[in-house]
Amino acid sequence: MRLYLIRHGESEANLKRLHNTPETALTETGLKQARAIAERLKEFDIDFIYSSTQKRALQTAEVVAGILKLPIETWGDITEVKTPSVNWGKPSDDSEANEIEKQIAQNYSKGNWKHSDEETFLEVKARAESVLNHLLAKHKGQKVLCVSHTSFIKMVALTAITGEYMTPDLYLKFREHAWVHNSGVTVLEYRDGRGWILATWNDTSHL
């Protein structure tokens, strides 16, 4: 199968440099990015579209689905990695939010350490594994589009290509140094006898 992982278009929080909330909407630029990636995807004969339930992703998926003339299935398992809700809506340079993120990073290698109500490494990794298993079980041989979010896309991609070798430290480094732009396209392919292959990372040639 061929899996297209698309990050949502620019959100209001991206523009204003705020921590996203589940209800953060797209900007006008984000809607334009969604239309641009939809036009690009016309050439790939997508069979199925999944969307995160979070507003910015669903808005992106609705634009894409309208142009591709495909239905959308919302899927809570491909939402963004949950951060502490106390940080939602705060500026990205907020000192209290940054201190919380620092504490989480310092304890991340423990795998299941929590500051409050965020997802742990082990929880997110399990979610990514479940997503990959579902896709292989339900869509083998198809081209599937998932409209998701930057940190979860990184987790899915890294889980697919590293498998049992994935560690919290590896994920933190990858998350920090592998950028995913708004409406960027990452492509994974599954081949019998070889497993998952990272075919494309963060393609933004449509912008």
Neighbours of 48 (CB within 10 A): 16
- pLDDT tens digits, one per residue of 43-79: 999 999 999 999 999 999 999 999 999 999 999 999 9
CA distances from 100 to 82, 87, 93, 178 (A): 14, 8, 12, 22
Give the pLDDT score at 134: 98
Give the pLDDT score at 108: 94
pLDDT class for 14, splitting at 50, 70, 90? Answer: very high
Q: Tell me the average pLDDT across 19-48.
A: 96
Cα(150)–Cα(187) distance, integer angstroms: 14
Residue 147 · residue 64 · CB < 8 Å: yes
pLDDT class for 28, splitting at 50, 70, 90? Answer: very high
- All structural domains of the chain: 2-203 (3.40.50.1240)
Beta-carbon contacts of residue 79 (< 8 Å; ≥ 6 apart): 22, 52, 53, 54, 57, 148, 149, 152
